[in-house]
Amino acid sequence: MGFRKKNKSPPVLSHEFVIQNHADMVSCLAMIILLGLMFEVTAKFAIMFITVQYNVTQVLADEKSEPVNLYQYGPKDVATVFFYLLIAVILHALIQEYILDKMNRRLHLSKTKHSKFNESGQLAAFYLFSFIWGCSILTAEDFATNPTFLWEGYPHTHMVFQVKFFYICQIAYWLHALPELYFQKVRKEDIPRQLYYICLYVVHITGAYVLNLHRLGLVLLAPHYLVELLFHASRLFYFSDENKQKGMTCLAAICLTQAWMMWKFINFQLKKWREHSQNQASKKKAVSPKSKPHKREPTRGGAANGVVKPEDKTSPRARKAKAS
């Protein structure tokens, strides 16, 4: 299948030929892997690329409950990441051909704005999809409502299917962005900037996956992707709107969001401060007694309760004189 209209046919295996036909070539490679499932000899190798590996069945203490399928990570995940890297390249070409290129023809952007518009368009689509997917996982696994899941039972060596597949797709997408620098003919002055944040994403997401910090990684990625989505959406509005009215609207939405978050943070801190002050005041009231008990004054001359007691243990009777 062809993703781009080609006016001239460049020499086979030349740089221009690879750039123009890279989506078709990647599609053929993905189809070959899928066809491997049809034959018994190659099925065990092809399934390693397509399905998620390292399945572990965990039986709960309750006999009535069904066993839970969990997953671990391992070296075979490299093959799975490679396959979905190919899928990411194909999806990238589809978005570029049927959405972004049509918008670029209508907007008549310059070369500089054209490159930034394509970059923001691709990233905005990815951030939107990843944010929705990440929030659905956080809601289903109760990571957001019960933050103790972040540290209880660490190391978290087991993952549910959605969590592992999410990380496989995340790593595959950011790795596919490296060859896309060549396929999309990114300008030399823009390569260091894009290469910098691509490598940061690959290192941090892979580190969270390998170090069993996938729960913490999900909690951090979801809000981060929302912020990045707003940023690249504002860039798209900036390039597409000549009067900059949409860009000022997006900027106002970002400012209002930041103000709302600051207001919630201040109210939370004030509430904690009031609770702390009330607890301190209640403790002081509990410590200070209402009335001090009177001490009993000592009696003079060894008298107690009106009865005079001798100072020593000798009998009050006079001692008999010793016989001389």
Is the pLDDT assigned to residue 303 strictly greater than 70?
A: no
Of the given ranges (8-12, 137-141, 195-199), which has the lowest mean pLDDT?
8-12
Does residue 52 lie in a domain region? no
Positive or negative, the Cα torsion across 45, 46, 52, 55? negative
Q: How many domains does the chain fold into?
A: 1
Predicted local confidence at residue 317, as pLDDT: 52
Predicted local confidence at residue 172, as pLDDT: 96
Average pLDDT over residues 182-207: 92
The reported pTM is 0.74
Average pLDDT over residues 244-249: 67
Considering the chain, what is the average pLDDT of its residues? 82
Does residue 91 lie in a domain region? yes
Is the pLDDT assigned to residue 4 strictly greater than 70?
A: no
Q: Which residue has the tokens 């939370």?
A: 268
Q: Kindly report, residue by residue over 93-106, the tens digit of the pLDDT.
A: 999 999 998 888 88
Is the pLDDT assigned to residue 306 strictly greater than 70?
A: no
Does residue 8 lie in a domain region? no
Of the given ranges (97-101, 144-148, 298-302), which has the lowest mean pLDDT?
298-302
Q: Is 58 in a helix, a strand, or coil?
A: strand
d(CA 240, CA 80): 38
Does residue 321 lie in a domain region? no
Does residue 236 lie in a domain region? yes
- Domain, as residue range, for 208: 77-155+162-272
Does residue 71 lie in a domain region? no
